[in-house]
């Protein structure tokens, strides 16, 4: 029998320090809503024309609300700093859970580096410095925030996130008050505008809209630190999804109203990410557009901080369970922050930025490639978490209703599976390159390596293997013993009558 009491008690994160509002700020910051509106919305209009993009945002938001029912039912049972890793491990098996952890680390790292590239490309020309100088400045700020208590970082995001939302709402109101042609148009709110799209174009559009929400799932990673985890995480997740869906739908509709539905495709194709700011400059004071660009860079910084915090918690969870070196599972004595994991992540990201600077990488191309790669990784993880919820909650029901236990996970698994198929089927178009086969190979390789590592752990360290997904809780492993079948000896005739035993020997 093996018991993990032989190792020191696991480190824990600061419990009860985060409220639901702080978790909302962390999740919304990870999504970078201002960046989505400035880049993804014009890109969608430029590629597909005056389609019903606001309806797609609302539809994908509804799908994610359905997904959240099973996702939150699992999270309430097992609050864990490595949320998606834990859910897949408990629902689909520990080896696949480790594969999901490797994929999550790659996906969140790709998203982070893409944001550094975007910030460098956006602010570098204005400051007359190379992109990597801006990236390293943001990297230093993120490194400092990673060592602070999470509650302090959440207060910083409480200032940056509302500023980005205010810019989106302010620009949208200005667009609606001064529409093209002098009257509001509703063409991009008509479902009929989706019927004429060919299947490949509609598939790419759906995937782009889905990737715009990547980051909302980080709410569950803070369950161990939340005040009233069950209530806080549930409310924060639903509120984040609903707010983002409405915000994206309103901004995309207002942009089409400002240019006119007939010109939105041409304007978006010609101006790209500048479209939102150019429309604001024509309707507001000149300083409003400049302020919006500053807030965009601040929002990118907020996203870097939020994704850094999430990734550090995944590394911490893997270190605490000894899947990775145990040193990663240490927390600061005063801050209870995962300092070792945060420093490790800071070093890795800094090396990647340095390598990009030495290679003279194009920040725009790198941002597109890494952003799509990270978003697709998150999409695969959501699919795995949905399937895991469907399997686990029906194997071990504990008060969940039919909706959260069966219907919601089943529907979201089918829908997310269809989105995943569309994404990888149209991957070259998403990436803007002739061949995008390297991304599926990298994702499959990460998961496969995790599975192999998990199987090796099962043989080499049964106690560590059994603790996967348990957050450092004590486990007992009882080895299976070979069954020994005892064959009873044949009874000697007359043994119950001693006077008759061996009578022949006595008389002989």
pLDDT of residue 84: 93
For CA atoms 266, 268, 270, 275, the dihedral sign is positive
**CA 144/CA 146 separation, integer angstroms:** 5
pLDDT of residue 484: 54
Structural element, H or E, at residue 3? strand 2-3
Judge contact between 140 and 8, C-beta under 8 A.
Answer: no
Bridge partners, 2 (sequence order): 477
pLDDT of residue 451: 94
Closest CA to 248 of 219, 210, 294: 210
**CA 166/CA 293 separation, integer angstroms:** 13
Residue tagged 């230093």 (tokens): 140
**CA 370/CA 364 separation, integer angstroms:** 10
Copy the structure tokens of residue 41.
């919305």
HEC string of 249-267 equals HHHHHHHHHHHCCCCHHHH
pLDDT in tens, the chain (508 residues): 444 444 556 678 878 888 889 999 999 999 999 999 999 999 889 877 778 899 999 999 999 999 999 999 999 888 889 999 999 999 999 999 999 999 999 999 999 999 999 999 989 888 889 999 999 999 999 999 998 888 889 999 999 999 999 999 999 999 999 998 888 888 888 888 887 777 777 888 888 899 899 999 999 999 989 888 889 999 999 999 999 999 999 999 999 999 998 899 899 989 988 999 999 999 998 899 999 999 999 999 999 999 999 999 999 999 999 999 999 988 888 878 898 999 999 999 999 999 999 999 999 888 988 998 899 999 999 999 999 999 999 998 888 889 999 999 999 999 999 998 888 877 777 766 666 667 788 888 999 999 999 999 999 999 899 989 887 666 665 655 555 555 556 555 555 555 555 555 545 4
Copy the structure tokens of residue 241.
């999804």
Judge contact between 61 and 226, C-beta under 8 A.
Answer: no
Please provide residue 494's backbone torsions phi and psi, each rounded to the nearest 5 degrees: 80, 15
Judge contact between 91 and 283, C-beta under 8 A.
Answer: no
**CA 363/CA 433 separation, integer angstroms:** 16
151 Cβ contact partners less than 8 Å away, ≥ 6 residues apart:
14, 17, 18, 22
Conformation bin of residue 284: beta by default, left when phi > 0, alpha when psi is -120 to 50: beta
Coil/strand/helix, residue 18: strand
pLDDT digits (tens, 9 = 90+) for 433-449: 666 667 788 888 999 99
pLDDT of residue 299: 94
**Whole-model pTM?**
0.89
pLDDT digits (tens, 9 = 90+) for 236-273: 999 999 999 999 999 999 999 999 988 998 999 899 88
pLDDT of residue 336: 81
pLDDT of residue 68: 95
143 Cβ contact partners less than 8 Å away, ≥ 6 residues apart:
342, 343, 346, 350
Alpha helix stretches (DSSP H) within 32-149: 33-35, 41-48, 53-77, 83-92, 94-127, 131-147
Alpha helix stretches (DSSP H) within 178-225: 192-195, 199-211
How far is C-alpha 12 from the chain's CA centre?
22
What letter would DSSP give residue 187? Answer: G
Judge contact between 11 and 329, C-beta under 8 A.
Answer: yes
Compute the residue count for the chain: 508
Return the CA Rg of the chain: 28
Q: Could you count the other beta carbons within 10 Å of the beta carbon of residue 453?
A: 16
pLDDT of residue 5: 45
């Amino acid at each position: 029998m093996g018991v993990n009491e032989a190792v020191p008690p696991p480190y824990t994160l600061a419990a009860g320090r985060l409220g639901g509002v702080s978790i909302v700020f962390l999740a919304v910051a990870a999504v970078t809503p201002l960046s989505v509106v400035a880049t993804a919305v014009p890109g969608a209009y430029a590629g597909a024309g005056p389609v019903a993009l606001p309806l797609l945002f609302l539809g994908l938001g509804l799908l994610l609300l359905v997904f959240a029912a099973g996702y939150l039912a699992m999270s309430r049972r097992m609050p864990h700093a490595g949320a998606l890793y834990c859910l897949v491990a408990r629902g689909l098996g520990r080896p696949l859970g480790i594969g999901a952890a490797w994929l999550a680390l790659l996906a969140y790292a790709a998203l982070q580096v893409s944001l550094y590239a975007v910030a460098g490309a956006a602010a570098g020309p204005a400051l007359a410095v190379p992109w990597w100088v801006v990236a390293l400045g943001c990297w230093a700020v993120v490194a400092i925030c990673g060592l602070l208590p999470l509650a302090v970082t959440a207060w910083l995001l409480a200032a940056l996130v509302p500023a980005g939302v205010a810019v989106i709402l302010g620009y949208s109101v200005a667009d609606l008050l001064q529409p093209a042609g002098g009257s509001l148009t509703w063409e991009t709110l008509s479902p009929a505008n989706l019927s004429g799209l060919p299947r490949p174009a509609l598939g790419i559009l759906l995937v782009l809209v889905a990737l715009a929400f990547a980051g909302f799932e980080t709410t569950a990673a803070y369950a161990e630190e939340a005040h009233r985890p069950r209530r806080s995480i549930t409310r924060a997740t639903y509120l984040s999804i609903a707010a983002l869906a409405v915000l994206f739908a309103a901004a995309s509709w207002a942009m089409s109203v400002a240019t006119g539905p007939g010109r939105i495709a041409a304007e978006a194709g010609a101006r790209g990410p500048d479209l939102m700011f150019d429309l604001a400059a024509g309707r507001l004071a000149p300083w409003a557009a400049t302020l919006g660009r500053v807030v965009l860079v601040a929002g990118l910084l907020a996203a870097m901080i939020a994704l850094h915090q999430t990734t550090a918690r995944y590394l911490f969870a893997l270190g605490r369970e000894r899947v990775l070196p145990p040193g990663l599972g240490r927390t600061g004595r005063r801050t209870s922050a995962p300092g070792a994991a945060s420093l490790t992540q800071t070093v890795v990201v800094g090396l990647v930025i340095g390598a990009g600077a030495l290679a003279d990488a194009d920040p725009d191309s790198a941002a597109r490639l890494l952003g799509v790669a990270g978003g697709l990784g998150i999409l695969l993880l959501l699919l795995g978490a949905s399937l895991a919820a469907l399997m686990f909650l029906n194997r071990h029901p504990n008060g969940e209703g039919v909706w959260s236990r069966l219907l919601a996970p089943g529907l979201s698994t089918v829908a997310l599976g269809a989105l995943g198929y569309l994404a990888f089927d149209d991957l070259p178009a998403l990436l803007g390159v002739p061949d995008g086969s390297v991304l599926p190979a990298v994702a499959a390789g990460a998961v496969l390596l995790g599975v192999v590592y998990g199987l090796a752990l099962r043989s080499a360290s049964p106690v560590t293997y059994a603790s996967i997904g348990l957050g450092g809780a004590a486990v007992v492993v009882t080895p299976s013993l070979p069954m020994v079948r005892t064959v009873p000896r044949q009874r000697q005739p007359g043994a119950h009558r001693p006077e008759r035993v061996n009578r022949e020997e006595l008389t002989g």
